[in-house]
A and B are shown apart, each in its own frame.
Chain A
Amino acid sequence: MKITELHIDGTARGAIEIARSRLMWAVIFFAAGFLLLAGRLVSLSLFQQTGSPHKGARGGAKVIMTERASITDRNGVVLASNLKSKSLSVNPRRAEEPELMARQIVNILPNVNYQKLLEGLKSSKNHRWVQRKLTPKQIWAVNSLGYPALKLENTEIRTYPHGNIFSHLLGYVGVDNQPFAGAESFFNDRLTDPERSDEPLVLSVDLRVQYILRRELYSSMKKFKAIGAAGIIMDVNTGEVIAMTSLPDFDPNLVSSPKGKGMFNRITGGVYEMGSIFKAFTIAMALDAGIVTMKDGYDASKPLKIDRFTIRDDHPKARWLNVPEIFTFSSNIATAKMIHDVGRDEQKAFLKRLGMLSKVRLELTGLAAPLIPKFWGEIESTTISYGHGIAVTPVHLITGVASMVNGGRLISATLIKQKTVRHDEKNKSEKNLLIKTSYSSGQTLEKSQIISEKTSEEMRNLFHLVVEKGTGKQAKVEGYSVGGKTGTAEKAGVGGYRKKDLISSFVGIFPVDKPRYVIFVMLDEPKGIEETQNFASGGWTAAPAVGKIIKQIGPILNIMPSQDKKLKYEDYIMVSDH
């Protein structure tokens, strides 16, 4: 093909040049447009990302299963979970026959107030809630009414399958699933983290143990007509709280505001004078400092006078008592003399190291600070030696007692399940096991040596003596070696102590030769009954409850019966307490 070249000059040439350049622009414009389309086509068909099933069809953000993650116990049993549900709302402007509609709704939802609903339906608003969280049957019935004014909106219900059993520990949520109290509140950020919404929060508690603890506490509370009760079970080696209950309690399924009965958690929110259980700390500090040995003792024949106070014994022996006897018979006089030898500053420092003077650390909200005397004088020091004049929470106490018996290590209590360690591996010595336990437990575990291992062993023997020979006999369990200490304190009232109103408690350690668990049970104002010869002290009320609990939870927690442990220091005790 040969192109004939034309040479045009003049005005015609100018016009052609203009046409050409315009044509050029059009070509560039269209070419760019088509190039853009082609590029987009390639990118859409070849390079579009594929994702997990949790991504939406358009590759959007991860679909959130529920607003709050579930909570389970250490064995994976669900304690709290969000389930999808519907809430009924109404658009009053579109309601044509308010009376008929209100009557029909009240028939389906008996909790709705007819008058209020009718008022709502006659109002001129766009949106009103009728009832939240309907059951599937109710949803079906509402749908079958077929009113366009009614609207079912997606909501989530926080469900607690075990009702009252975990009330204080878990806390509860409000109408919009906002957390109140307990683990719900403390772990709120974790529970509402969208990245972990289908990964449950695993707590250290065990449903079976918790159930038994609550049942026994409840029956003791009824039996002794107490106004309240509390109990806590802790693993001495890891600090894991296995069970924790405070009575009276509530059903978190039914509660949505912090009003009403049973909302007070005695375990973390209440501070109590713990009475004689504190003697364990006094004796431990004296033994550990080498101020006394097991053979030494003090004269407890006469009541002790300090200033205007007179210190008496509840179980007077009226003679010289050695250390095992002081603990076993719970002598106030001898303990008071002992702390005098230890010294006030040492006592304060020891209790501070034990965490008794600061707020307790546990993954719950509403933790109470202990009540400690402003001035740590002679009389304060003396009364604190046997558990009066200082008020701590049960968590303080159980953490302290655990450190007395677990080899002397202070391990803070935790509600998070720690990595498990096989406790029954036979080839490993006890010492190896303890080290392994503390390594495996991660960051929440803070430990420091409070007393030496030798003192801790002596303390174990003393606790064992109390149950075998002393005030805690009713906590004995056939097949297990149990140690413990009773505590009875008069409640402080206006202008002094109220003689009749007691806090009766017992702390149990089992198995005492190789402690695994420590149990604390406390009854608030128990009344003596005929069966207990009208006594309401810890040895008569709380100790039998601890015995019953150990008997039931031992097999569940895989504690094998101990072969008869030889009672050490038994010879030191002259007369058995009757």
Chain B
Amino acid sequence: MKIFIKIFVLSMILLSVVMLYNIKEKTNDLQREKAHLSQKILASQMALRILKVEKDYLSRPSRLEELSKRYLRLEPVIVSQLIASLDEFQAFEIFPSAPSFKKKIGNDNGAFGNFIVPHFKPDVKFLENGKSLREIFVSSPVNVEASKLMIKTALQREQENYISINNSLRKITFKEKLRAKYGDFK
């Protein structure tokens, strides 16, 4: 009986020694892997840093200005493209029953996200048809001429509709109002 106990104890000891050794080896492997990954992370971080610097170098204002002039029709935003509040932009007061759309679309994170350039989406509908008048404010800088053109076409279309539906509101000179605000469209 005693001999069995001794053999058992001895084999347990051997087993635990082997397991301990295995664990140690595995740990070593993991540690090597970790070191390798750390190296890779550091290399990637350095590469990211280089790319970030390069990105900022390539998007320096003087270069962007030149590229924008050459390839885009975009110009810097000017004051007359901004409105302080939607109350000010009441081209819509001609439709007295139109709910005023007070929510500002866009963000306040600085950069170019917060410029409000008003232009009408062609789906402007009339209250008389039971549909609401909508103003769409796009939060990106838009070429002045382009936005004028969009306003113009949208307005022309809507005004034609407008006359055919209800003549009593004809006296309100929508076009004149915009002409006063944005100058002559021609």
Residues of A within 8 A of B (CB): 41-42, 44-46, 48, 50, 53-57, 63, 65-66, 70, 75, 77-78, 81, 83-84, 159, 161-163, 165, 198, 207-208, 211-212, 422, 424, 477-480, 551-552, 554-556, 558, 560-563
Contacts and interface: CB of A to CB of B under 8 A. Distances in A.
B153 interface: no
B23 interface: yes
Contacts of B56: 77-78, 161-162
B61 A561 contact: no
B61 A208 contact: yes
A198 B42 CA distance: 11
Contact of A555 (B41, B45, B62, B76): B76
A70 B49 contact: yes
Contacts of B81: 555
B103 to A, nearest CB: 12
Interface in B104-123: 108, 110-111, 114-115
B164 interface: no
B101 to A, nearest CB: 16
B81 to A, nearest CB: 7
A54 B38 contact: yes
Contact of A563 (B53, B61, B88): B88
A55 B31 CA distance: 11
Contacts of B38: 53-57, 63
Nearest to A45: B24
B49 A560 contact: no
18 contacts: A45-B20, A45-B23, A50-B34, A56-B38, A65-B49, A78-B56, A81-B52, A83-B50, A159-B53, A161-B53, A162-B60, A207-B61, A211-B61, A422-B108, A551-B79, A558-B114, A560-B82, A561-B83
A46 B16 CA distance: 13
A478 B80 CA distance: 8
Given A44-B24, A48-B27, A75-B111, A555 B60 contact: no
A527 B23 CA distance: 83
**Nearest 10 A-B pairs (CB), nearest first?**
A57-B35, A479-B79, A161-B57, A45-B24, A560-B84, A211-B61, A555-B77, A53-B38, A78-B56, A53-B41
Given A53-B41, A77-B56, A562-B84, 18 more contacts: A53-B34, A54-B42, A56-B38, A57-B38, A63-B42, A75-B110, A75-B111, A83-B46, A83-B49, A83-B53, A162-B60, A478-B79, A555-B115, A556-B77, A558-B110, A560-B85, A561-B82, A563-B88
Interface residues of B, number: 40
B168 to A, nearest CB: 32
A417 B84 CA distance: 26
A111 to B, nearest CB: 21
Contacts of A198: 45
Contacts of A554: 79
B24 A551 contact: no
Contacts of A562: 84
Given A48-B27, A57-B38, A81-B53, A479 B46 contact: no
A34 B74 CA distance: 80
A63 to B, nearest CB: 6
B32 interface: yes
Interface of B: 20, 23-24, 27, 31-32, 34-35, 37-38, 41-42, 45-46, 49-50, 52-54, 56-57, 60-62, 76-85, 88, 108, 110-111, 114-115
Nearest to B88: A563
A513 to B, nearest CB: 12
A424 B108 contact: yes
B35 A81 contact: no
A198 B38 CA distance: 15
Given A65-B42, A560-B84, A56 B61 contact: no
**Which of B84, B85, B88 is most buried by chain A, counting CB atoms within 10 A of its CB?**
B84
B79 to A, nearest CB: 3
A63 B34 CA distance: 14
A554 B79 CA distance: 7
B61 A41 contact: no
Candidate in B61, B78, B111, B114 with the most chain A CB atoms within 10 angstroms: B61
A55 B35 CA distance: 8
A75 B38 CA distance: 29
A555 B84 CA distance: 11
Contacts of A65: 42, 45-46, 49
Contacts of A75: 110-111
A480 B79 contact: yes
Contacts of A552: 76
Nearest to A424: B108
Contacts of A211: 60-62
A48 B24 CA distance: 10
Nearest to B84: A560
A477 B32 contact: no
A57 B79 contact: no
A78 B53 contact: yes
Contacts of B83: 560-561
B80 to A, nearest CB: 6
A392 B24 CA distance: 70
Contacts of A558: 108, 110, 114
A478 B37 CA distance: 58
Contacts of B78: 551, 555
Given A41-B20, A65-B46, A198-B45, A555 B82 contact: yes
B35 A56 contact: yes
A478 B49 CA distance: 42
Contacts of B84: 560-563
A45 B82 contact: no
A555 B110 contact: no
Nearest to B23: A45
Contacts of A70: 49
A155 to B, nearest CB: 14
Nearest to A478: B79
Nearest to B62: A211
A84 B56 CA distance: 17
A63 B45 CA distance: 12
A73 B23 CA distance: 50
Contacts of A45: 20, 23-24, 27
A242 to B, nearest CB: 12
Nearest to A77: B56
B9 to A, nearest CB: 16
